[in-house]
Amino acid sequence: MTNFIFGIIFIIAAFLFYAINIMREYERGVVFFLGRYQSVKGPGLIIIVPGIQQMVKVDLRTIVMDVPTQDVISRDNVSVKVNAVVYFRVIEPEKAIIQVEDFQQATSQLAQTTLRSVLGQHELDDMLSRRDKLNHDIQEILDKQTDVWGIKVSNVEIKHVDLDESMIRAIARQAEAERERRAKVIHADGELQASDKLRQAAEILSQQPQAIQLRYLQTMSDIASEDKTHTIVFPLPMDLINPLQEWLLKSNK
């Protein structure tokens, strides 16, 4: 009799052990009744009838998945190695269990092929300077294709774009040439602006002969103050030379 009671207690304890499940706030249980999908339960206390019902737990938290390094050939035939990280989470647990065997593995493989496909349609300059747009394009494609699995891809970030040494040197030479071009353009613009200002100053001085004379005297004063070791020859004004030339011509006649 005692053994019978202990047996009953053991059966009840085993039943409770397999029947009672506690789901956390971020967990859901996909319940199957005799192999057929029944419902999604949780969080909290869930009772499952062993042998008749089965339950598969699904984590609803955001999953951070590294995309392995991929060999990509850009549209301008440059070979690069690119890796990325994908952020996604399950929003429909029943689809994630029923529609695909392993949703994490499936999302990883899809992310790798999508990364190669999208980056292969762009040039190297786009990969280096327009990552935000590329991230957005990859995220949209992944989100659309994983929707049937009940998965939401929230973000995709390209982490590294690795180039070989020869391509790095070529990019450095290109950047240096671009800097030299900009420097020459800036210098030419400065010369153009300076020449325009000099032309305006010459027009103003030509209208005021007294201003020319004052400017002449100021220049002479600056030269004398800067260098005291040289002899400075002051030219005679034309107003004094012209009458002398006219007198000489009359005398010769």
The b/e string for 125-139 (b: 16+ C-beta within 10 A; e otherwise) is ebbeeeeeebbebbb
**Model pTM score:** 0.66
Is it the case that residue 206 has pLDDT exceeding 90? no
Say if CB 151 and CB 107 are below 8 A apart: yes
Domain boundaries, the chain: 2-59, 63-163, 165-211
Say if CB 94 and CB 40 are below 8 A apart: yes
**Residue given tokens 């493989």 in the structure block:** 109
Distance CA 92, CA 99 (A): 11
What does the pLDDT read at residue 190?
Answer: 86
The mean pLDDT value of the chain amounts to: 83
Is it the case that residue 205 has pLDDT exceeding 80? no
CA dihedral 125, 128, 133, 136 (to 10 degrees): 130
Distance CA 157, CA 85 (A): 5
Render pLDDT for 147-159 as a digit per residue (tens, 0 to 9). 999 999 999 999 9
Residues 6+ apart with CB under 8 A from 250: none
Q: How many CA atoms lie within 13 A of 106 on its CB side?
A: 18
pLDDT-derived band at 41 (thresholds 50, 70, 90) equals very high
The dihedral built from the CA positions of residue 242, 243, 244 and 246, taken in this order, carries a sign that is positive
**Residue given tokens 């706030």 in the structure block:** 25
Q: 63-163: what fold?
A: Tetrahydropterin Synthase; Chain A (3.30.479)
Say if CB 111 and CB 103 are below 8 A apart: no
Say if CB 122 and CB 134 are below 8 A apart: yes
Is it the case that residue 227 has pLDDT exceeding 80? no
Tokens found for residue 241: 């030379």
Is it the case that residue 240 has pLDDT exceeding 60? no
Distance CA 31, CA 41 (A): 7
The dihedral built from the CA positions of residue 83, 87, 91 and 97, taken in this order, carries a sign that is positive
Residue 233 DSSP class? P
Q: How many CB atoms lie within 10 A of CB 158?
A: 19
Q: Which of 198-202, 205-209, 216-220 has the highest mean predicted lDDT (pLDDT)?
A: 198-202
Q: Which of 18-32, 168-182, 212-226 has the highest mean predicted lDDT (pLDDT)?
A: 18-32
Is it the case that residue 92 has pLDDT exceeding 80? yes
Q: Across residues 24-36, what is the average pLDDT?
A: 93
